Chains A and B, each alone.
Chain A
Amino acid sequence: MADKRTTADDVVAELKDGMTIGIGGWGSRRKPMALVRAILRSPVRDLTVVSYGGPDVGLLCAAGKVKRVVFGFVTLDSIPFDPWFGRARETGAIEVTEYDEGMFGTALSAAAQRLPFLPTRAGLGSEVMRANPGLRTVRSPYEDGEELVAVPAQHLDVALLHLNRADARGNVQYLGPDPYFDELFGLAAERCFVSVEKVVETAELTAGSPVQSLLLNRGSVAGVVEAPRGAHFTTAVPDYGRDERFQRHYAACAKDLAAWPEFVDRFLSADEGTYLSEVDKFEAEAA
């Protein structure tokens, strides 16, 4: 039986320039931040990033890794806007495909089901239709004759997710209140890599948690990375909540171009272990 355990750097080594990368989670919630930080350390670039965006999108924009963002929103939740995404938009540094939140999920569903499109009402009459000139409508062949948006399938080369637990074979589990759209990201991708707080024995997955918490089975997971605090500074409840203090520090540095290089030097220029120890020092200083 396959042991799919790997490392964040080995996952990122599989990425190629120009790939379309789906990033799971939602806003500043359960984002695969350790995998994102590994991308920041790599030479890969020109990515199309498909995300219910949060600081994942901001950090990738800051590092100049992004060619296009496919999104319905980009937010830090407790802070409304991500400064780096705003700057990338306002300077014209990136292209965008902006969807309604529901359309975004519909696009992933179509890809997960290997359909060319799925119909939806969301988007009709809005800027989404004008800002995406390639979008088409489709007419119902039934009596109603309704004309709806034909949301094209959003295929992903790679999906990157962070969940709470997995076994070494790639059965993965969320333990918080919301699975977000992680299952669809996984199924829409050629290859899906998952980081987790802890790799456990298979039997342990359901020893204390309902079977419904097993979100993706090993058939759709290519690699498992054990990354404790791997969603930091976003939430990964029940393992931990959002690090609001650190997120405020990120946002303040991101707003101020003079402060940004110091943030990069301290937190993003070495490996994940250094990141976590610098975060601990930052917390101790601030406490």
Chain B
Amino acid sequence: MSATRAEIVVVAMAEVFRGDGEIVASPMGLIPQLGARLARLTFEPDLLMSDGEAYLMTTDGVVEGWQPFRKMLDTIVPHGRRHVVMGANQIDRYGNQNISAIGDHARPKKQLLGVRGAPGNTVNHRTSYWVPRHSARVFVESVDVVSGVGYDNAAKAGPSAQKFHDVHRVVTNLGVFDFGGPDHAMRAVSLHPGVTRDEVAAATTFEIDFTGTGTSREPTDEELRLVREVVDPKSLRDKEVPA
């Protein structure tokens, strides 16, 4: 069985949760959800996941807890036993993310969602990002509105902003990235099979550190079976990540 790009991406997304243990996984968007569910069905069985509304659900679809929005914001997020994967309209070299607005905040060219929970997420617990189309429009020199806090801004804001700050991974249709470069600059951890460094460099405004970059791993046979038969039998993944 040979894996598609979308299947490589789902496995790479599952890997983002490796080692998380018994915490709340909050995957926003289709691919993060597929990845989190795959992780829970394989190497991270203790992850807690919601139905996207107010219930925590087991892998069998049984309600195992109550997690309304107020509980999420008053205790789950500040308590810190959570790993969120958010989307991003823009990300910069130091992991600042924007989902609020494009242009000047006072009068934006394009109003987006608003900062939502990104400021609180990023200073309270592990945060990762999912970018379905890796492009120079997303990976910019500096974001227009800092919604999710990056390493430079956390440092400027002081120890209370840094204490629990942990921007973990960025997964895109081209590869997996972290902020392990000099001064927490973005670094390519792995590129998906068939993706070249030139391709990534051309789709990124700033320079990316390719020191130690590997190749994203192939799914195991069991992972492929789970993705194709259990987690995403309708292949919705192919719409988000074309082959």
Cβ of A26 < 8 Å from any Cβ of B?
yes
A105 to chain B, nearest CB (A): 5
Cβ of B210 < 8 Å from any Cβ of A?
no
Contact B159 A146 (CB under 8 A): yes
Bound form: Cα–Cα A129–B146 in Å: 10
Cβ of A125 < 8 Å from any Cβ of B?
yes
Contact B105 A123 (CB under 8 A): no
Cβ of B100 < 8 Å from any Cβ of A?
yes
Q: Which residue of A lies closest to B110 (CB)?
A: A90
Q: Which residue of B lies closest to A27 (CB)?
A: B69
Bound form: Cα–Cα A181–B72 in Å: 11
Q: Which of B32-84 contact A (CB under 8 A)?
A: 53-55, 66, 68-70, 73-74, 77-78
Bound form: Cα–Cα A159–B211 in Å: 55
Cβ of A219 < 8 Å from any Cβ of B?
no
Q: Which of B139-175 contact A (CB under 8 A)?
A: 145-149, 153-154, 156-161, 163-165
Cβ proximity bits A49-65 to B, threshold 8 Å, 1 near / 0 not = 00001000000000000
Out of B78, B108, B118, which one reaches A126, CB within 8 Å? B118
Contact B73 A124 (CB under 8 A): no
Bound form: Cα–Cα A120–B161 in Å: 11
Cβ of A3 < 8 Å from any Cβ of B?
no
Q: Which residues of B contact A98 (CB under 8 A)?
A: 100, 105, 114-115
Bound form: Cα–Cα A98–B159 in Å: 24
Bound form: Cα–Cα A99–B53 in Å: 21
A68 to chain B, nearest CB (A): 13
**A90-B107, A147-B158, A148-B160 known; A123 vs B119 contact (CB < 8 Å):** yes
Contact A126 B107 (CB under 8 A): no
Q: Which residues of A contact B77 (CB under 8 A)?
A: 102, 122
Which of A105, A125, A128 gathers most chain B CB within 10 Å? A125
Cβ of B113 < 8 Å from any Cβ of A?
yes
Cβ of A8 < 8 Å from any Cβ of B?
no
Q: Which residues of B contact A126 (CB under 8 A)?
A: 115, 118-119, 122, 146-149, 153
Cβ of A116 < 8 Å from any Cβ of B?
no
Contact A72 B78 (CB under 8 A): no
Cβ of B111 < 8 Å from any Cβ of A?
yes
Q: Which of B98-127 contact A (CB under 8 A)?
A: 100-101, 105-120, 122-124
Cβ proximity bits A177-191 to B, threshold 8 Å, 1 near / 0 not = 111110010000000
Bound form: Cα–Cα A85–B54 in Å: 26
**A98-B100, A146-B159, A177-B68 known; A127 vs B146 contact (CB < 8 Å):** yes
Contact A89 B101 (CB under 8 A): yes
Cβ of A205 < 8 Å from any Cβ of B?
no
Q: Which residues of A contact B108 (CB under 8 A)?
A: 89-90
Contact A125 B120 (CB under 8 A): no
| Residues of chain A at the chain B interface (Cβ within 8 Å) | 26, 53, 71-75, 80-81, 85-86, 89-90, 92, 98-103, 105, 120-131, 146-148, 177-181, 184
| Residues of chain B at the chain A interface (Cβ within 8 Å) | 53-55, 66, 68-70, 73-74, 77-78, 100-101, 105-120, 122-124, 145-149, 153-154, 156-161, 163-165
Q: Which 3 A-B pairs have the closest CB atoms?
A: A122-B120, A125-B157, A126-B119
